[in-house]
Amino acid sequence: MASAISALKKKYIWIAIILLMAGGSYYWYSKSKATTDQIRYVTSTAEKGMLTSSISASGNIIVDQSATVDPTITGTVADLAVAVGDSVKKGQFLFNIVNGDLTVSVAKANASLKQSRDAVESAKVDVKSAKADYDAAKKKEDKTPGTYTDRQLKVMKDKIDTVENKVTQAENNLTATQADYNNTLTEAGKRRVIAAIDGTVNAVNIKNGDDLSRLSSSSASQAPIIIGDMDTMKAQVQVNEIDIIGVSIGQKVMLKFEALDNFQASGKVEKMDSLGTITSGVVTYNVIIGFDSLDNRIKPEMSVSSSIITDVKQNVLIVPSSAVKNDGSGDYVEVLSGNTPEKKSVQVGLSNSTDTEIVSGLSEGDKVVTQTINSTTTTSTSNTNRSGGSSLRLPGMGGGGHVD
C-alpha cells in the first residue's frame, strides 16, 4: 500500500514538472515574440532629386482691365443694345438714357449763347457808331472852330471808351455762356452711353425702362454694365505678413482651381501691394499673378490656390522632413542598420513641409527612420527646428516610407 502511494506521488510530481516546463516554454516564447513584434520602423530611402520650397496662398481670378459703365446722370434706360457675353469695341453704343430735363437745359443754354453773341455784336455796333460820331464832330470842329465845345467832344470820346468796355464785358459773358453751353452739351451727350474699352460684357444689371436714379451702384459689381478684357485675367491671392517677405516679382507660380479637377496652370508674380489689408487682426497683401497662357476654362471670380515657388535645388540628397530631428545640439536622423536604428548627425539645407535637403552626414541609399511603431502606440519622428512652406516634391524624386 505504501509502495502504491509513493508511486502515485512521483507521478504527480512529474506531471507538475512537465506543466511548469510547458508554462515556462510558453512564457519564453510569448516574451520573445512580443519583444520581436513590439517595435517596428517605417523607413524611407535617401535619394537625389529636385527639391522646391514654396509659399501657399489663395484668392480669386480677376479681370485686370475692366470698366464699369455707371452713368453720372439720371434718366430712363432705352435702346439697350448688348447682353452678357457680347464682344464690344471702345466707343460702341450700349444704351440711351431718356432725360427730359437735359433736353430743356440744352435748349436754354443754346438760347443764352445766342443772346450773348447778339450782345457782343450789338456792343461792337455801338463802338462803331460812337467812333463815327466823334470823328464827324472832330472834323466839323477842325473845319469850323466853335461848333462843339471841349466838353461836348470829351463826352463823345468818353462814350467810345464806355461802349468798348461793354464789348469787353459782352465778350467775357459770351465766353462764360459758351462754356456753360459746352458743359450742358457734354452732360446731354452722356445720354448716349458707349463702351470705354474693348472687351466682353461681363454683366448687365439693367433693362429698358429702368430708372437709373433708383438703381444702387454703391458696389462695382452692381454697376449697370461691366465690361472686361478677358485677355487680361489674372490671379489675385492674399499672402500673409510672414510669407510676403519671401515673395518677389518674377517668381514662378503653380495654380490650381476648385472648379477644375485635374487642371493646373502656371504663371509669374507680376505685382504686389506695398500696403497690407487688416481683416480680423490678420494682415495680408494682395499679389497679382499673370498666366503663362490662358485656358478658356478659367473664368472671372473663380477660386484659386497658388504655390509661389521661392527656391529650387536640383540633384540634392532628399529625405522626408519627418526623419529629421533635433536634440538641442544639432540635427540628426536615425539610419536603420539591420533592425537597429543608429543616430547620425546631419547638416540640412533647403526644406519644406514634406522634404528636407541633407547637405552632409548621409549617403544616397541610406534608409532613414520616419516613424516608429510598437504594439500599442505609434511614434512619429518630427522636425522640431524648422517650419517649411508648401512643398512641390516631384514624383520619383525621393522615396515613400515602408515598414521594416
Mean pLDDT, 10 residues at a time, over the chain (404 residues)?
56 64 58 59 91 94 92 92 94 93 88 93 91 90 86 89 92 94 86 93 93 68 88 96 95 95 95 94 96 94 95 93 91 88 92 90 92 65 44 42 50
Residue 129 falls inside a structural domain: yes
154-162 LR contacts (CB < 8 Å, sep 24+): 156/130, 159/130, 159/133, 159/134, 160/127, 160/130, 160/131, 160/134, 162/130
Which residues face 189 on adjacent strands? Answer: none
C-alpha cell at 220: 462695382
Q: Which backbone phi and psi does 219 adopt, to 5 degrees?
A: -110, 135
Residues 239 and 150 in one domain: no
Q: Which backbone phi and psi does 213 adopt, to 5 degrees?
A: -70, -20
Task: Assign 3-class secondary structure to 36-70.
Answer: HHHEEEEEEECEEEEEEEEEEEEEEEEECCEEEEC
CA separation for the pair 195, 104 (Å, rounded): 26
- Residues 324-361: b if buried by 16+ CB within 10 A, e if exposed: bbeeeeebbbbbbeeeebeebebebbbbbbbbbbbeeb
Listed residues 125, 159, 190: the one ending a domain: 190
End-to-end CA distance of the chain: 64
Which residues face 290 on adjacent strands? Answer: 234, 268
Residues 350 and 263 in one domain: yes
**Three-state SS at 334:** strand
Measured over the CA atoms of residue 387, residue 393, residue 398 and residue 404, the dihedral's sign is positive
Residue 274 falls inside a structural domain: yes
Question: CB-based contacts of 253: which residues, under 8 Å, 6+ apart?
Answer: 235, 266, 267, 268, 269, 289, 306, 307, 308, 309
Whole-number pLDDT of residue 395 = 36
Q: Which backbone phi and psi does 99 adopt, to 5 degrees?
A: -140, 100
Residues 114 and 247 in one domain: no
Residue 27 falls inside a structural domain: no
Whole-number pLDDT of residue 337 = 82
Residues 240 and 183 in one domain: no
Q: Do β-strands 93-98 and 76-78 pair in parallel, antiparallel, or remain unpaired?
A: antiparallel
Whole-number pLDDT of residue 31 = 55
Residue 205 falls inside a structural domain: no
Q: The domain containing residue 313 runs over which residues?
A: 43-62+230-403
Query: Per 3-state DSSP, what percentage of the chain is helix, strand, and coil (rounded to 5)?
Result: 35, 40, 30
Dihedral angle over CA of 212, 217, 218, 223, nearest 10: -170
Residue 256 falls inside a structural domain: yes
Residues 162 and 234 in one domain: no
C-alpha cell at 155: 463826352
Whole-number pLDDT of residue 148 = 86
Residues 164 and 262 in one domain: no
Is residue 389 within 8 Å of residue 352, measured between CB atoms? Answer: yes
Residue 294 falls inside a structural domain: yes
Measured over the CA atoms of residue 109, residue 110, residue 111 and residue 114, the dihedral's sign is positive
Residues 107 and 54 in one domain: no
- Between the alpha carbon of residue 304 and those of residues 95, 152, 259, 298, 301, the distances in Å are 35, 91, 9, 10, 9
pTM of the model: 0.59
Residue 369 falls inside a structural domain: yes
CA separation for the pair 159, 136 (Å, rounded): 14
Residue 75 falls inside a structural domain: no
Residues 262 and 380 in one domain: yes
What one-character DSSP code corresponds to residue 389? B
CATH number at residue 371: 2.40.30.170
- How many domains, in total, are found in the chain? 2
Residues 104 and 56 in one domain: no
Residues 238 and 178 in one domain: no
Listed residues 175, 190, 205: the one ending a domain: 190
Whole-number pLDDT of residue 208 = 95
Whole-number pLDDT of residue 396 = 38
Whole-number pLDDT of residue 46 = 92
Q: How far is CA 146 from the centre of its chain?
A: 92
Whole-number pLDDT of residue 41 = 87
Residues 276 and 150 in one domain: no
Listed residues 135, 167, 190: the one ending a domain: 190
Residues 186 and 285 in one domain: no
Dihedral angle over CA of 313, 319, 324, 329, nearest 10: -60
